[in-house]
Structure 1
């Protein structure tokens, strides 16, 4: 009873309070007896993207910004398809633009060939094999999922494009032989998915921000070259290419959302 004092307890030499800032007084929030915290990391609330972690949530891979890349291109694709099928006023602008841009030459033909299945798909296969090998070699969880998802997406391209070609049956430009089945552009869609999916699955394995930025720029440049070559050579109307841009954007955004939800990150590089 002689030790009773009305004030707060005093720290005495050689003794530690239960709630000091750490065993060594280093301002660490951990327990002084080095035991783990009562709430495990896995039991804490998830962040907005569904990743288990801390509260407040740590920065993660935001996915909500991708939803406009699904809705807006899908709406634009629907509008363009309606205009082409109904021979709407947008086709008159398309015809004038094509007349101004078409100038067949060897360079435009070579650029258009970058979108050939024989060129774009082997590039995708090489990237998928590399990503699968790296994932398995480093013990990444579900290493097979990104390559498989990208391969399935590539297989979906003809399954989506060919029915539209048959249904719309749009004729070609004056620079190509008479025929139908030019809408949407299969070369543009092939290039977007092959090079875009390659970039998406490869990005986590690139060490620096410069390499990742360079991969995205290279992908965009390849798709732009194919698109320009197709219109310049007269293989497609401009709206055929724009429609495939919309379709490819929807497919790639879907792949990005899928990978962001289910994939496990590879080991981080220093």
Structure 2
């Protein structure tokens, strides 16, 4: 999906009509609902895609995964922090050149300044999807199946929430957000296939003093 969407943005194709239709529908909904709560929620969700808090969560996920691997007595405890750091560096390397190359104006249609990047793909969506997704993936390799489902579900909800918040707040076109999701999805898919699964740490053993047989 990333390739056809990017092609449509590059050539100003008919698919961009979807962006305009969604923006009009969202603006009409905001006007009719006139909900301060929803507007604040949209902005709060959008802010979750900023470098703070997304990058600290990513790095914390790498550290937590390394600690759990260490507790389990497995090797490669160095791998999750390394993956987290490399992911944090990869985000701008992918997003900034793409924004500069496409040079897409934002929803308000104001021409870009000479020193300004474009809106495509959405940096906040990409940052959130990469950061929360990779953090969840790293920790998920050290827990059981139920824990993996919860972590991956939470990361997906955060990523979707950030994207919807950006569209609701009129910060980005819908296709900007979709491109961020697709870009992160490709990297997460490749990373999930490459990363080894580490065993969860053993449960804490009970205090031996509480199980010492009574002297007879």
TM-score range for the pair, normalised by the shorter chain length: 0.7 to 0.9
| C-alpha distance in structure 1 between counterparts of 2:17 and 2:68, whole Å | 50
Does 2:144 align with 1:211?
A: no
Counterpart secondary structure, 2:141: helix
By relative contact order (CA 8 Å, sep 6+), the higher-ranking structure is 2
| Residue in 1 that maps onto 2:20 | 95
Q: Aligned pair in 2 of structure 1 residues 129, 267: CA closer, same or farther (>3 Å)?
A: closer
| C-alpha distance in structure 1 between counterparts of 2:197 and 2:122, whole Å | 34
Does 2:45 align with 1:126?
A: no
Matches within 5 A, 1:30-179: 76-102=1-27, 103=30, 105-174=39-108, 179=112
Greater alpha carbon shift after TM alignment, 153-162 vs 184-193: 153-162
| Residue in 1 that maps onto 2:123 | 186
TM-score norm. by structure 1 comes to 0.65
Deviation digits for residues 188-242 of structure 1 (CA, Å, limit 9, x no counterpart): 00001100001111113224x3332221211111111101100000110000000
Greater alpha carbon shift after TM alignment, 178-187 vs 191-200: 178-187
Name stretches of at least 5 consecutive residues in structure 2 with no aligned partner. 31-37, 204-216
Quote the offset at 1:177 in angstroms: 6.1
- The match for 2:188 among 245, 252, 255 is 252
Q: More helix per residue: 1 or 2?
A: 2
Contact 1:116 1:187 in 2 (8 A): yes
Name stretches of at least 5 consecutive residues in structure 1 with no aligned partner. 1-75
| C-alpha distance in structure 2 between counterparts of 1:190 and 1:267, whole Å | 28
Contact 2:72 2:201 in 1 (8 A): no
| C-alpha distance in structure 2 between counterparts of 1:222 and 1:168, whole Å | 26
| Residue in 2 that maps onto 1:70 | none
Bigger Rg over Cα: 1
Deviation digits for residues 66-107 of structure 1 (CA, Å, limit 9, x no counterpart): xxxxxxxxxx11111111110100111221112112448222
| C-alpha distance in structure 2 between counterparts of 1:222 and 1:248, whole Å | 13
| Residue in 2 that maps onto 1:40 | none
Q: Pairwise CA RMSD of aligned residues?
A: 2.0
Q: Runs of 4 or more off by more than 3 Å in structure 1?
A: 176-180, 267-270
Quote the offset at 1:264 in angstroms: 5.9
Contact 1:147 1:201 in 2 (8 A): no
